Amino acid sequence: MYKILSVGGSIIIPKTGFDIEFLTEFRDLILARVKQGDKFVLVIGGGATCRQYQSALKAVTDAWNTDLDWLGIYTTWYNAEFVRLLFGKYAHQEVVKNPTQKIKTNKSIIIAGGWKPGCSTDKDAVLLAKNLKVKTIANLSNVDFVYDKDPNKFDDAQKMENLSWNEFRKIVGDKWVPGANVPFDPEAAKLAQKNKLKVIFAKGTDLEAVANLLADIKFNGTVIE
């Protein structure tokens, strides 16, 4: 059974540029789990790179939301190809771009990117979970918990360790906006709730939290189900 990780693009390439030490340690962690028998699907987002392209396009012209989404999807493919190459022989030979198609591989690691406009790679992770009959997704972002409001803007933001889907959807709303910086996109949340999935949120750069999450022991993060 695969473990599905939705990995924010800003974990892979933050605004400040590549963090080689982190990438090395993240790779080592995943490969250590593979050697213990785990298999992974890593769904890679566009992150800050995506939002920079989208912001520049919107600043110059009146871009359609569909165009902004496609621009974001292309950045996920580029980020995903980079991650696929990081894992070399352990990874499936191509980036998965359609989460609904059957995946034929004997590799322990599958790398996926975006698929269609109208959602983020979070929804693609949910579709892959449905495709592979997986009931839990781990969402790795640059925030340690889900908060009731943006902790980068509000000092009084409250962290929440356990939420129902109804509670969570009140926070993120119901409408997808290209490049939106939310814990889990609204379209993904709707589908995850419909399919009775559990989604775990943790800070992707906190490798101790990620290691504990993968080992099914207590970790810093939020669980939604």
**DSSP 8-state code for residue 14:** -
DSSP string, 185-199: -HHHHHHHHHTT-EE
Contact 54, 72 (CB under 8 A): yes
pLDDT at 186: 87
Distance of CA 122 to the CA centre of its chain: 5
Q: Work out whether strand 222-224 and strand 198-203 pair parallel, antiparallel, or are unpaired.
A: antiparallel
* Secondary structure percentages of the chain, helix, strand, coil, to 5: 45, 15, 40
pLDDT at 179: 60
**210 DSSP β-pair partners:** none
pLDDT at 129: 97
Q: What fold, for 2-224? A: Carbamate kinase (3.40.1160)
pLDDT tens-digit profile, the chain (225 residues):
899 999 999 999 998 899 999 999 999 999 999 999 999 999 999 988 999 999 999 999 999 989 999 999 999 999 999 999 999 999 999 999 999 999 999 999 999 999 999 888 999 999 999 999 999 999 998 888 988 887 878 888 889 999 999 998 888 877 777 766 677 888 899 999 999 999 999 999 999 999 999 999 999 999 999
pLDDT at 180: 64
Cα(3)–Cα(148) distance, rounded to whole angstroms? 27
pLDDT at 152: 77
Cα(28)–Cα(100) distance, rounded to whole angstroms? 29
